[in-house]
Structure formats: C-alpha cells, structure tokens
Amino acid sequence: MRRKDVSQEQADFAEFYAGSRDDCLRTVLAAVRDVEQAQDLVAEAYARAWASWPKVSRHPAPRAWVVRTALNLSVSSWRRHRRELPLTGHDAPARGPAPIGVDTELAAALQRLPARQRQVVALRIFLDLDTEQTAEALGIAPGTVTAHLTRALTALRTEFAAHGSEGIHRG
C-alpha cells in the first residue's frame, strides 16, 4: 500500500474513533455495567477494527461492528472466568454500583433487564441502529429485536412510573 493510502487510512480511522468512541462505550457499558471493563473491551474492539480497517471501514455499520466485537470479547472473558467467579449465569442482571456519572435509579432499572434486552436497548438508543442493523449486530432475528425492545421499554416505563420523575437523580 502506498504511503498516501496509509495516511488516508489512518486519518479515516482517527476520525471514526473520535466520532464514535463515546457512543460505543455507552452501549457496551449499558450491557456490562463496569466502566473499566467496558473501556478495556471497547478499546480492544477498536484495536481489532484498526487491525482490519480495510474490511471494517466498508462495513455498513462500523460502530455496530465495534460493539459486537466488544460484546463478544465480554462473553469470551466471562467464559474464561466462569470457573473462578461465582456468577449465576451470563443472562443474569448485572450487579454492582451504577457507573459514575450515570443516573442511579435509571441505571438500576436498566440493569434489571435481561442481558439481551439491555443490548437491544443500548444499540437502539446509543447507536441509533434500526431493527435490521440491531438484529445483524446481535446475530438474532429482526422479530426478536422488536420483541426484546418492546418488553424492555415497557419494563423501563413501568419502573419510571413507579419511581416518578422526581425519583430519578444523578449518582
């Protein structure tokens, strides 16, 4: 590859990173909850995106590629740790304190959702993916995405109504 092409490739990746990293982190954070783990997973996913940038840059939704890679890494990491950590199951609601800067009640409501519902909500909200793109990113059927999203939003709306808007505060 010529030097000019390499420079353009680097510039393209730098622009992609600057413009998408926060949204990708928020999406993954909603799924895994722990900020440090989310940062590591997303950074590793971006590193892999850069390693395969000629391919990833042509992906119809590169941000979804990054998030899916990060979530897959999360699953791989969980599989390596499962004999050491007392997890009750991968689909169990996430536990622990709300990430700093995130509304505590809202974060708690989000974390009470099953893992797949959290992922669907996060991809739709933070990456603005449509149903088809969300389905592709998660490797599930579009109809399943719709079902998960409907259930998740219903659950969140119920939680918010129970707490009232005054109960939502920053932690």
Partner 1 sequence: MDDQDVITAVKASYAEIHMDVPLDVVVGRGRRLRIRRRLPGLAVAAGAVAALALAVAAVVPGGGKATAPGGGTGTGRLAAWTIVSQPNGSVRVALRWPGLRDVAGLQDKLRADGIPARVARIGYLRPPLNVPGCHVFGDWSAGPGGISHALWLKIFYGPHTGQQSDHAFWVYPSAIPAGLGVLVDIYYDGTFGLYVVKASPECTGT
- Footprint of partner 1 (CB under 8 A): 10, 13-14, 17-18, 21-22, 24-26, 29-30, 35-37, 39-40, 42-44, 46-53, 77, 80, 84, 99, 101-103, 106-107, 110, 121, 124-126, 153, 156-157, 160-161, 165, 168, 170
Distance CA 48, CA 53 (A): 8
Comparing CB distances to partner 1, the nearer of 21 and 116 is 21
Comparing CB distances to partner 1, the nearer of 17 and 94 is 17
Minimum separation from the CB atom of position 62 to partner 1 (A):
14
Burial class (CB in 10 A: 0-12, 13-18, 19+), 155: middle
Minimum separation from the CB atom of position 63 to partner 1 (A):
12
Minimum separation from the CB atom of position 154 to partner 1 (A):
9
- Name which of 72, 12, 14 is nearest 42 in CA terms: 72
- Name which of 21, 162, 26, 38 is nearest 107 in CA terms: 26
Residue 170 DSSP one-character state:
B
Minimum separation from the CB atom of position 60 to partner 1 (A):
21
Minimum separation from the CB atom of position 121 to partner 1 (A):
7
89: left (phi over 0), alpha (psi -120 to 50) or beta: left
- Name which of 103, 109, 110 is nearest 168 in CA terms: 103
Distance CA 32, CA 154 (A): 21
